[in-house]
Amino acid sequence: LAPWIPVVGLEIHAQISSNSKLFSGSQVQFAAPPNSLVSFFDASLPGTLPVLNRRCVEAAVMTGLALNCSINKKSLFDRKHYFYADLPAGYQITQQRVPIAVNGSLSYSLCIDNKMSQMVTKTVRIKQIQLEQDSGKSLHDDTRSQTLVDLNRAGVGLMEVVMEPDMCCGEEAAAAVRELQLILQTLGSSQAVMAEGQLRVDANVSVHHPGEPYGVRTEVKNINSIRFLAKAVDYEIQRQIEELENGGTILNETRAFDSKLGCTVPMRDKEGKQDYRFMPEPNLPPLILYDAKSLPANMNHQQVINIDWIHERLPDLPSVKREKLVEQYGILPEHSFTLLNEDGLAEFFESVTKQTQMKPKKVIGWILNDLLSYLKQHSLTVKESPVSSFLLADLLNLLEKKEISSTAAKQVLAELWKGEGKTPLEIVKEQKLELLQDQKELEQICQAVIDGQENE
Partner 1 sequence: QKVSVEVLDHLEHLALVDFRDSEGVERLQKAIEFADQLHEVNTDGVEPMDSVLEDRCLYLREDDVTEGNCTKELLENAREKVEEYFVAPPGNIPLPKMDEQETFLKGS
Interacting residues with partner 1 (CB under 8 A): 18-20, 24-27, 33-41, 43, 45, 51-57, 76, 81, 83-85, 138-142, 145-151, 268-269, 271, 275, 277, 280, 282-288, 302-303, 305
Closer residue to partner 1 (CB): 147 or 373: 147
Spell 221-251 as b/e; 16+ CB within 10 A means b: bbbeebebbbbbbbbbbebbbeebeeeeebe
Cα separations in angstroms, 353 against 246, 362, 395, 422: 59, 10, 12, 21
Q: Which is nearer to partner 1, 273 or 383 (CB)?
A: 273
Nearer to partner 1, 56 or 408 (CB): 56
Give the nearer residue to partner 1 in terms of CB position, either 142 or 438.
142
CB-CB neighbours of 259 under 10 Å: 15
Report DSSP letters for 219-270, one per residue. EEEEE-SHHHHHHHHHHHHHHHHHHHHTT------EEEEETTTTEEEE-SS-
- Please, what is the minimum distance in Å from the beta carbon of residue 274 to partner 1? 9
Compute the least distance from the CB of residue 287 to partner 1, in Å.
Answer: 5
- Comparing CB distances to partner 1, the nearer of 83 and 438 is 83
Distance CA 345, CA 17 (A): 23
How far apart are the two ends of the chain, measured CA to CA in Å?
75
* Residue among 56, 24, 46, 50 at smallest CA distance from 37: 24
From CA 93, how far away is CA 102, in angstroms rounded? Answer: 19
Minimum Å gap between C-beta 307 and partner 1 is: 14
The CB-of-254 to partner 1 minimum distance in angstroms stands at: 14
Query: Could you tell me the smallest distance in angstroms from the CB atom of residue 35 to partner 1?
Result: 5
The neighbour count for residue 67, using CB atoms within 10 Å, is 24
| Residue among 17 and 385 whose Cβ is closer to partner 1 | 17
Return the number of the residue (22 or 163) whose C-beta is nearest partner 1.
Answer: 22
CB of 87 to partner 1, least distance (A): 11
Region of residue 388 (phi > 0: left; psi between -120 and 50: alpha; otherwise: beta): beta
Q: Are 38 and 216 in contact (CB under 8 A)?
A: no
Task: Name the minimum Å distance from CB 194 to partner 1.
Answer: 24
